[in-house]
Amino acid sequence: ARPRVGYFYTGKTSAQLLTEKIRQIQVKEYLSMPVLVQEDATVYDAICTMFLEDVGTLFVVNKHSKLAGVLSRKDLLRASMGNQDLNSIPVSIIMTRMPNITVCSKEDLLVEVAEKLIDKQIDALPVIKNSTDEDAFEVIGRITKTNITKALVDFSGDAII
Amino acid sequence: ARPRVGYFYTGKTSAQLLTEKIRQIQVKEYLSMPVLVQEDATVYDAICTMFLEDVGTLFVVNKHSKLAGVLSRKDLLRASMGNQDLNSIPVSIIMTRMPNITVCSKEDLLVEVAEKLIDKQIDALPVIKNSTDEDAFEVIGRITKTNITKALVDFSGDAII
C-alpha cells in the first residue's frame, strides 16, 4: 500500500505560522562562524584575512581570546588610504574597541538584531556567549545583513507554499 | 460627537495581509538613491566619494550617463593594497563591467532581489530604468542588503500590531 502523505490541519493558517516565525526567530538559527584576528596582528594581515575568508567584518580578540574590537571593511579601507606601512600598524590602532561594540547573544531575536544593524549603521554584530563581564566576552558567531537577507528569502519561500 | 474610530474587519487576518505584503513588495518601496562616478574618475576619487556618501557600492557611468560598471568596497580595498598610485588609476580598470552586472527594475519583487544578492554574493544591485538595450541602462536607484534588512524590520513591526 502507498504511504499516507499530505497536509495535516494544525488549526493555524500558514500565514499565521509565518508571522509567528518572523517574530520568534532567534539569532542562533541564522548566525555564521566568526572570523577572528589577534590584537597584535597588523592591518596588512587583517586585510589578507578578510579577503581569504571573504567576510566584511573581523572580530579582534586579546591574548585571553576575549573580544577586544571590531574591524569593518571601511576601517581597513580608511587605513590603507593613508600613506602608511600597513605591515607596521597593529589592528588595535584602527579597530572599534570595547565598550563601544554592540553585541548580541544566540537567544536574541533576529528582528532585534536587524534593528540594531540599521540604527547603528553597521554590517555585522558579534554573537557572544552569555556573560555579565564586559571584559570577558567570548565570540561564538557573527550575524550580518547577509544573514538577515537570507532570513527574508526563507520567509518568502514559506509564504509561497 | 466623537468621531467613530477603530478597526474595520476586512475579511482577512493581519497575518494573511503580512504574508501577501512580503510576496508583493516591490523594489521601488525600498530603494535608495544611487551614487555615481564617471568612468574616467580615479580610484582615489572613488574611495573619497564612497566615504563622503557613506555607501558600500558605487555605480560607474560612461560619458552618456549610462551604466558602465560597479565598484564595491572590496574592489577598492584590493586596489589600495597594491603599491600603486591611486591617483593615476581610473576606476574603469578595477570595476566589474557590463554585461557582468546584475541589475533590477523598480517593479521587481524585493524578495527576488534578495535572492540575487545572496546567489551572486554581492551587496547591492543598481536599479535601472526599463530598457532592452544593455548598452543604455540608466541608473535610477540602488538596492542593498541594508534596504532588505529595513524591510524585515518593517514586516516584523506590522506583525506585532
Backbone angles phi, psi at A137, to 5 degrees: -75, 125
- Chain A residues with CB under 8 Å of B118 CB are 146, 149-150, 153
Q: What is the mean pLDDT of residues A131-143?
A: 88
Res. A78 pLDDT band, cuts 50 70 90: very high
pLDDT tops 60 at residue A159: no
- Predicted confidence at residue B134, as pLDDT, reads 72
On whether the CB atoms of residues B27 and B143 are closer than 8 A, the answer is yes
pLDDT tops 60 at residue A127: yes
Q: Does residue A10 or residue B121 have the better pLDDT?
A: B121
A19, B23: Cβ pair inside 8 Å? no
- Chain B residues with CB under 8 Å of A150 CB are 118
In B133-146, which positions are buried (b, 16+ CB within 10 angstroms) versus exposed (e)?
eeeebebbbbbbbb
- Predicted confidence at residue A154, as pLDDT, reads 85
pLDDT tops 80 at residue B61: yes
Residues of B with CB under 8 A from a CB of A: 13-16, 18-19, 22-23, 47, 50-51, 54, 56, 73-74, 76-78, 80-81, 86, 110-111, 114-115, 117-118, 121, 123, 145-146, 148-153, 155-156, 159-160
B118, A150: Cβ pair inside 8 Å? yes
- Predicted confidence at residue A98, as pLDDT, reads 87
Q: Does residue A161 or residue A129 have the better pLDDT?
A: A129
A118, B149: Cβ pair inside 8 Å? yes
Q: What is the mean pLDDT of residues A36-65?
A: 96
A73, B78: Cβ pair inside 8 Å? no
Res. A13 pLDDT band, cuts 50 70 90: low
Percent residues over pLDDT 70 in chain A: 84
Q: Tell me the C-alpha to C-alpha distance, in Å, between residue A65 and each of A7, A59, A72, A116, A131.
A: 49, 11, 19, 25, 14
Instruction: Check residue B34 and report its DSSP letter.
Output: -
pLDDT tens-digit map of B24-33: 899 999 999 9
Q: Which domains, ranges and CATH numbers included, belong to chain B?
A: 14-160 (3.10.580.10)
Degrees (nearest 5) of the Cα angle A31, A73, A40?
A: 90
On whether the CB atoms of residues A138 and A65 are closer than 8 A, the answer is yes
| ipTM given for this complex | 0.84
On whether the CB atoms of residues A34 and A142 are closer than 8 A, the answer is yes
Q: Within its chain, how far is the Cα of A5 from the centroid? A: 39
What is the pLDDT of chain A when averaged over all its residues?
88
pLDDT tops 60 at residue B70: yes
Q: Say which residue the cell 589592528 belongs to.
A: A91
Name the nearest CA neighbour of B33 among B146, B117, B131, B113: B146
A77, B19: Cβ pair inside 8 Å? no
Percent residues over pLDDT 90 in chain B: 69
pLDDT tops 70 at residue A90: yes
pLDDT tops 90 at residue B50: yes
- Predicted confidence at residue B154, as pLDDT, reads 85
